Amino acid sequence: MSIFSTDILKKTDAYVPGEQPQDKSYIKLNTNEFPFEPCDGVKAVVNGEKAADLRLYSDPTCRVLKEAIAENYGLKTENVFCGNGSDEVLALSFLAFCKKDDTVVFPDISYGFYPVFASFFGLNYREIPLETDFSINENDYYSDCGTVYIANPNAPTGLTLGTEQIENILKNNPNHVVVIDEAYCDFCDCSATGLIGKYRNLLVVRTFSKSYALAGARIGFALGDKELISDLEKAKFSFNPYNINRLSIEIGAAAMKDREYFEKTVAVIKENREKLTDDLKKLGFTVLPSGANFVFAKKDGFDGEKLYLELKENGILVRHFGKERIKDYLRITVGTKEQNAALINTLGRILK
Ligand SMILES: *Cc1c(COP(=O)(O)O)cnc(C)c1O
């Protein structure tokens, strides 16, 4: 660290993203990207003649993107906030809603960025242990002591929390925002978006990275009460008004509008997920029921890290986390049928 760095920077352990090899030689099942290409509308934007327009700033209101999102969810644009990936949306939510004397809460096993943001923004936080079966006990989140962050489906477990449980958490935190991070929600039927309008403390965070095949375009959004959204806008205009580039605004709008392609491809991933789960079970793995585009699995008697390393040696990347409670598990992104078959074949060989 330089002698100029702040205490907060010194004390923060930065987020460590999954490996992103740039040589494309791996079967990449480690960061929950979509294995299919983006829809034709997206390609038309990229291949169109927009390069000349890049001399101009992007629209700081992200109007066309907001309109496409609002229409899809039956909401108004005043209920939609857009960010440079949902990571930025989450960061701005910490800045906008987490107060110094509060204690931010989230599960001990969840998205690794929550404790990083809390630390980086100098906030108190408490990690609430998941139950032994990795489920979230809603009763643990009734303290109303600060902003609540819950990923639903949770990552890396893939387990989902019912809308009723989320509603109970909303009711029991009337003085704080409850952020439901629905990065994987398109792969199940657990969305809290139906509760917008009923609870002014609900913020749903979404992304184009997983289900729209647009991880590299960096587009995320939040849905919620118009007052929460205008707070996020104020935070963004105090930080980076042109947060989404011109191409990504149009790319996101095109992807959101093509419902047919979205539904068709997401259905394939769900189907592949069930097959992958069955095949892993046949190899003797314990697989948690997943509502996401990944599965969380372990095999008794086998070290998670060793399996991860052996798969890597064989050209297949999955994600392993060193945390004590989950160190025997692998988080495996659901890929194409061919990718999943390659994984199963390779695992079969390694296990022998
Ligand atoms: C992938 C992921 C994100 C971040 O997504 P981006 O939109 O690519 O920044 C946020 N939350 C969870 C739980 C995720 O898994």
Percent share of the chain, pLDDT over 70: 100
Q: What pLDDT does 335 receive?
A: 98
Q: What pLDDT does 22 receive?
A: 86
Mean pLDDT of 245-268: 97
Mean pLDDT of 159-172: 98
- The preferred substitution site among 33, 34, 86 for testing ligand 1, maximizing ligand atoms within 8 Å of CB, is 86
Taking the whole predicted model, whether its pTM rises above 0.75 is answered as yes
For residue 127, give the 3-state DSSP assignment. strand
pLDDT in tens, 192-215: 999 999 999 999 999 999 999 999
- The preferred substitution site among 159, 181, 204, 321 for testing ligand 1, maximizing ligand atoms within 8 Å of CB, is 181
Q: What pLDDT does 188 receive?
A: 96
Helix (H) / strand (E) element for 346: namely: helix 337-351
Residues with CB under 6 A from ligand 1: 85-87, 111, 151, 155, 181, 183, 207, 209, 215, 220
pLDDT in tens, 79-133: 999 999 999 999 999 999 999 999 999 999 999 999 999 999 999 999 999 999 9
154 CA to middle of ligand 1, Å? 11
Q: What pLDDT does 19 receive?
A: 87
- Ligand 1: nearest atom to the Cα of 110: 13
pLDDT in tens, 278-337: 999 999 999 999 999 999 999 999 999 999 999 999 999 999 999 999 999 999 999 999
Number of H helices, E strands in the chain: 11, 12
| 85 Rama class: left (phi>0) / alpha (psi -120 to 50) / beta | left
Residue-by-residue DSSP string for 290-316 = -SSSEEEEE-TTS-HHHHHHHHHHTTE
51 contacts 198 by C-beta, under 8 angstroms: no
Mean pLDDT of 228-247: 97
Q: What pLDDT does 189 receive?
A: 85
Q: Which two tokens stand for residue 143?
A: 């303290």
Taken in order 232, 149, 72, 274, the sign of the CA dihedral is positive
Q: What pLDDT does 24 receive?
A: 72
Q: What pLDDT does 181 receive?
A: 98
Q: What pLDDT does 113 receive?
A: 97
pLDDT in tens, 7-66: 999 999 999 998 888 877 899 999 999 999 999 999 999 998 778 888 999 999 999 999
State the average pLDDT for the chain. Answer: 96
